[in-house]
Structure 1
Amino acid sequence: MSTPSSVLATLLRTDPARPRITFYEDTDGPTRGERIELSGKVLANWVNKAANALQEELDVSPGSTVRLDLPPHWRSVYWALATWSVGATVVTGTPSSDEQDDVLVTTDPAAAEGFPGEAVLVTLAALARRAPDADPARTAMDEAAELSSYGDQFAAWEEPDDADPALRTDGEDTAYGEVVTDRGWDRGVRVHLEGTDLAEVLSAALAAWAVDGSVVISRGGLDEAARVHRVDTEGITLQQ
């Protein structure tokens, strides 16, 4: 049985320098045109820093819930993997009126400041060093300014049980023992992900890595000519 942590560990053992995430920003805005590529080793470094922040600073552990109010993005992926590294539950989708998560990871400054629990404010731009117009009195963690201070190595204080919820989407839970699925994909598959459903993007990434594959995440719409060009230049073998 595979878990998110075991999948990431396998990537580091087999070929740590190989690209595992390639991200394209195709939405309008100041980051349009960004292309980010993360090897297994670089991905693990981001995951470890975020996991240390969750465990040491925000007191996240098995039984905690971390809502990812983020688009499908390379930063969303490492925050999900970090949450799974500490054994907590990644929450996506529309929150219910009676649902109260322990931590919110968001790009929305107002949501971060108004959240009653712990919050992390994420700036999506690759070279960001602080949140725009950062307020020194802000209570939320400014990821761009603070995450680099956390350690590159991570050891979980507690491990989740296989039956514990790893992913909760619109109130539906997927257990740790079931979150890494076998989709029948060829070994080494390179999957193109264009959807807006973060839970599906995370699930597809885990499935690709479980068969020693990689993912290309395109955020924003592509016309057919651009899609064909990207498939060709990135060596994509499967489109989702």
Structure 2
Amino acid sequence: MHTPADMLAALLADDATRPALTYYDDAPGPCAGERIELSRKVLGTWVAKAANALQEGFDVHPGSVVRLDLPAPHWRLTYWALAVWAVGATVTLDAHEGADVLVTSEPESPDADDADEVIAVALPALARSFGADLRSGVMDEAREIASYGDDFTAWDEPEPTDPALVAGGRRTTYRELLADSAGTTGRVLVTATDPSTALRQILHVWSTLGSVVLVRGGEPQPDDERMRSEGVDRSAPHVSREEGAD
């Protein structure tokens, strides 16, 4: 079984200094105009810190469910998904799903009020705190994530039939998540606003050691100089394989 953790290890072994992702925020709001680039090594560090927070701080393990309520496409959604898969737990994108931990950029939402364990994620790249008062027990990712280790070792491994992703009521197992390894290499543009689609497209590219350029806020124009300077080869293909419903 080839897992996202194996995929990330392969990216690091190939060349840890190459860009894993570049992110442009074209959406209206406080993050408009941001450009973030993460090398494979830096991505691995973010994943390790988030995974350590889940495992050590929230006892997340195979069988646990973590709901990700973060925008797509977004670099923070990406490393949190990889972190959940690193500990062998289930990523759910469905609002109605019961979850052990909620990772959200909106900790004041009704869904957050109903969650026992909440991680508040500030979207701005340079945020050092969430920037608002948080209720007791809510983890401020921007303030606390740095205290966790840069290396990660899972306490347990998922079974091939364990659910890795729940979206739209469908479950994709760990065995199925990366079963289609015929990904798209090079520098690939991802603009999908559906989190499941964005995550699948990113995994599709990384499975063959490619690199992604994420643009939030719409499809760039054909003459967008940024895409030429980034060396974008193509847009992400539609990932047609449906999630398996166990």
Both proteins in one fold, TM over 0.5: yes
Measure how far apart 1:26 and its partner are. Answer: 0.5
In structure 2, distance between residues paired with 1:76 and 1:103: 15
Secondary structure of the structure 2 residue equivalent to 1:108: coil
> Conserved in 1, the CA contact under 8 Å of 2:4 and 2:85?
yes
| Greater shift in the superposed pair: 41-50 or 205-214 | 205-214
- Divergent runs of 4+, >6 A: none
Output the amino acid matched with 1:53.
A
What are the Cα deviations for residues 8-55 of structure 1, in whole angstroms up to 9, with x where unaligned?
Answer: 000111100000110001011121110000011000000000000000
Output the amino acid matched with 2:196.
A
> Conserved in 2, the CA contact under 8 Å of 1:181 and 1:206?
no
> Conserved in 1, the CA contact under 8 Å of 2:107 and 2:118?
no
Determine whether 1:156 maps to 2:154.
yes
> Conserved in 2, the CA contact under 8 Å of 1:51 and 1:82?
yes
Alignment match, 2:202: 205
What are the Cα deviations for residues 191-219 of structure 1, in whole angstroms up to 9, with x where unaligned?
Answer: 10111011111111111111010111100
Alignment match, 1:196: 193
Alignment match, 1:50: 50
Measure how far apart 1:237 and its partner are. Answer: 1.2
Going from structure 1 to structure 2, the CA distance change for 1:57 and 1:16 (only over 3 Å counts) comes to same
Measure how far apart 1:85 and its partner are. Answer: 0.4
In structure 2, distance between residues paired with 1:232 and 1:7: 27
Output the amino acid matched with 2:231.
G
Measure how far apart 1:66 and its partner are. Answer: 0.5
In structure 1, distance between residues paired with 2:196 and 2:75: 13
In structure 1, distance between residues paired with 2:104 and 2:234: 30
Output the amino acid matched with 1:51.
A
Output the amino acid matched with 1:233.
S
Measure how far apart 1:3 and its partner are. Answer: 1.2
Output the amino acid matched with 1:52.
N
Determine whether 1:35 maps to 2:35.
yes
In structure 1, distance between residues paired with 2:104 and 2:8: 24
Alignment match, 1:19: 19
In structure 2, distance between residues paired with 1:201 and 1:36: 17
Alignment match, 1:237: 233
Output the amino acid matched with 1:49.
K
Secondary structure of the structure 2 residue equivalent to 1:42: helix
Computed over aligned residues only, the root mean square deviation of the Cα atoms, in angstroms, reads 1.6
Determine whether 1:106 maps to 2:104.
yes
Determine whether 1:218 maps to 2:215.
yes
TM-score, normalised with respect to structure 1:
0.92
In structure 2, distance between residues paired with 1:80 and 1:110: 21
Going from structure 1 to structure 2, the CA distance change for 1:8 and 1:170 (only over 3 Å counts) comes to same
What are the Cα deviations for residues 56-91 of structure 1, in whole angstroms up to 9, with x where unaligned?
Answer: 111100011101000121011110000000000001
Secondary structure of the structure 2 residue equivalent to 1:153: coil
> Conserved in 2, the CA contact under 8 Å of 1:22 and 1:215?
yes
> Conserved in 1, the CA contact under 8 Å of 2:66 and 2:90?
yes
Output the amino acid matched with 1:234.
E
> Conserved in 1, the CA contact under 8 Å of 2:183 and 2:206?
no
Determine whether 1:173 maps to 2:154.
no
Alignment match, 2:114: 115
In structure 1, distance between residues paired with 2:183 and 2:8: 18
Alignment match, 2:80: 79
Alignment match, 1:146: 144
Structure 1 gap segments, 5+ residues each: none
TM-score, normalised with respect to structure 2:
0.90
In structure 2, distance between residues paired with 1:71 and 1:4: 20
Q: Could you tell me the percent identity over the aligned residues?
A: 49
Alignment match, 2:93: 92
